[in-house]
Amino acid sequence: MNKINVITIDGPSASGKGSLAREIAKTYNLSILDSGSLYRLYAYFALEGMNTELIPNAIQKNIKFKVSDRDLIIMNLENDITNNLRSESIAALASELSSRKEVRSALFDIQRSFYNDKGLVADGRDMGTVVFKEAKLKIFLTASVEVRAKRRYLELQNLGQEVNMPALIDDIEQRDLKDSSRELSPLLPADDAHIIDSSEMSLEDVISFAKNLVKEEYL
């Protein structure tokens, strides 16, 4: 299989995939794909009442990703809808939609279209196993449920949302079970992925480790 200039970062919810992907994209001037955002966008448009047949076209035509110093900004035409996509209701519907074959099929070509000559870093749950099997470098980033729940707790608190830690832990456990046991594109590391457990690592440690992998296998 001919390798292409793609770095995939897969892993469970709140494992730090997005933060790592943004840093890699900025450092090496790569395009970026947050595949989870595509499913949240699908959920967002569905909750807005859009005909589901029209949603993939709306995503492809209207949505732009911009990397800022601290975040991935998601623009719907001229409107920043980044925070709209972070609610638990959007996340729950996105998780449910991601198990539907017709939704995954509709978004597959959109995800593939993010690849270009510039190179791409793609984060998600099946980037290295399904969408970009021929990626040059594959990373699977994980952490304990407790650590991931704490990260998600702080993120939601910073957005001004009320959060219950036990409920958050239960939600992540249920999402992990659903993601790893679904028949379609289950969450698991690619055979050739580098597995990073960040439970006892700082974000800086993870970034440093990943950058060494980029230098060894991508550049």
CATH number of domain containing 173: 3.40.50.300
| Structural domain that includes position 55 | 4-199
C-alpha–C-alpha distance, residues 205 and 8, integer Å: 18
Mean pLDDT by 10 residues, the chain (219 residues): 95 93 95 93 95 94 84 92 88 87 93 93 96 98 96 87 90 90 91 97 96 96
Q: Is residue 52 part of a domain?
A: yes
State residue 17's pLDDT score: 94
Q: Is residue 206 part of a domain?
A: no
C-alpha–C-alpha distance, residues 214 and 218, integer Å: 5
State residue 66's pLDDT score: 85
Q: Is residue 144 part of a domain?
A: yes
Q: Is residue 74 part of a domain?
A: yes
Q: Tell me how many domains the chain contains.
A: 1
State residue 178's pLDDT score: 87
Of 67, 47, 45, 21, the closest CA to residue 203 belongs to: 21
State residue 70's pLDDT score: 66
Q: Where does residue 77 fall: left (phi above 0), alpha (psi -120 to 50 degrees), or beta otherwise?
A: left
State residue 201's pLDDT score: 95
Q: Is residue 205 part of a domain?
A: no
Q: Is residue 219 part of a domain?
A: no
